[in-house]
Structure 1
Amino acid sequence: MADQTTPQDPTEQHDSHASKTISHPGLTRDMDEQPDHGEESYRGSGRLEGRKAIITGGDSGIGRAVAIAYAREGADVVLSYLPEEQEDAEITAGHVREAGRLAVLVPGDLREEAYSLELVKRAVAELGGIDILVNNAAYQMAQEGGIFDITTEQLDRVMKTNIYALFWLTKAALAHMKEGASIINVSSIQGYQPSPQLLDYATTKAGIINFTRGLAQQLAEKGIRVNTVAPGPIWTPLIPATMTGDKVEGFGDDTPEGRPGQPAELAPAFVFFASQESSYTTGQRLGVAGGKMMP
């Protein structure tokens, strides 16, 4: 990705992606084309100086891009991820430390309520508090037969990862968040335009949008803001690890910009919602979807 200050044609800003599928949960090194997380392009300006953030799904993809941006803006971070994603998490932590900030690695499975509570305890103990919570972790597995191919086991995993964990973690973190804190949930264009093969996943993303709007009203008087970033098709390990080859090959081609987005292109939205620049913004959704419309 070129320098942030250089005007570019967004339709040509990134090359198209490759079509190789990889095993779940997916490591960045296994992808034919590496995503851009802002490693070479993101420049911080101190907008989050001294802040303390929890980022779930912080090992790769969107989570890595957010961690890099937050660190370069002056924040320390706790990264949550599955144990089998340790390799990616270490790389992300390296970028955070190169920026001179603290990175705390806390592997575990968010489907377990006890882990969500432990994650908050670690953040408070090792960072000294929580100013920003980014609920980014999610699970999806495409099923071409739609509802008929979605097992109860899959439905349970999707709901617990995408909804239960978000609820548990937010509830626990709020006990330690003060005025000026920010909660940022990751929804999706799927919450507005559900793909039949992602029915269960899309259902959770619609729920996250309403959770954001409702919680924002509850917390506004406490001085805590709650917003959501709704990505369109973004090139992360989740895509080749959960979709069939033909879907991966054409991923993002149907956007007006004609390509999938890169994780680095979402990071500024998360910085905006976390910073004081968005002090009069709560209960809102910011879509980053290459021109795809959301109501």
Structure 2
Amino acid sequence: MADVRALPVPDGLEGERADAALARLFGLSRTRAAEVIAAGDVLLDGGPVSKSDRLHAGGWLEVTLPPPPGAPTPVAEPVPGMSVLYEDDDIVVVNKPIGVAAHPTTGWTGPTVLGGLLGAGHTVATSGAAERQGIVHRLDANTTGTMAVAKSEVAYSALKRAFKERRVDKRYHALVQGHPDPFRGTVDAPIDRHPSGNGRFAVVAGGRPSVTHYDTIEAFRAASLLDIDLETGRTHQIRVHMSAIRHPCVGDMLYGADPTLAARLGLGRQWLHAVLLAFEHPTHGGRVEFESPYPDDLAHALDVVRAES
């Protein structure tokens, strides 16, 4: 099925050749972008363009892209347990439940936030690859909590930029094994894929810069509840950094957690929750802030570890 995108030409592409602009916008090669233009699948303000035409900022671009071979597509069906915390014309903020990925990926057959929103009748921005439309940040499938999705093209561009420029407040709570020393601190260590290639990530020399700030909310006999502020947003960042300082998230067996403790607390996944998300609204500019409560499994585990202390 063809993938139709419609969006205003971003300011940063003012004066760019059409083929170069398409390549940048959609991750195409320059040759592939020229082929799409030659096929008549690109309109600017309702009219066809040639590959050498120069684009003007704000012009309305309509592009029809064929899906890449084997690309996953979102299954539009409601996701049980996923609630909407806030919605307007530009954004929708959800409380993501356990076992739900942000968007389709190769090898993932479970539900997704994107598919759940589409299945419930919500609109999302058409910017981004077909399987990631509207997605401006992600949570691991088994990490619960607050997640924002762009509905308008303006919101998509603004939020992607805000995340890239680290102007978004991303707060997590994590129950970790033991007691970090000091109780408040920063982990500044580069992250990349684990050399074993088994899906894990690790602190690796020459990896991508990654910074995690943590503060102890409450200390228990066997664990500590931390408030975590992410300065960067790498895949598995909190899980990797907590494991690196020998205080893995309780229940996170992939990163060295104690399975006995996890079983005692009734946990089948890492104790990690995206509790708060705050940013400048993409259209009115005011600060907006969204919070989500702990899900039942994390709340129960916290009650047990507190009772044992």
Select the structure of larger CA radius of gyration.
Answer: 2
TM-score range, shorter chain: under 0.3
**When the two structures are superposed, what TM-score results if normalisation uses the length of structure 2?**
0.25
Please identify which structure carries the higher strand content.
2
Structure with more of its chain in helix, by fraction: 1
TM-score (norm 1): 0.26
Return the structure number with greater relative CO, CA threshold 8 A, min gap 6: 1
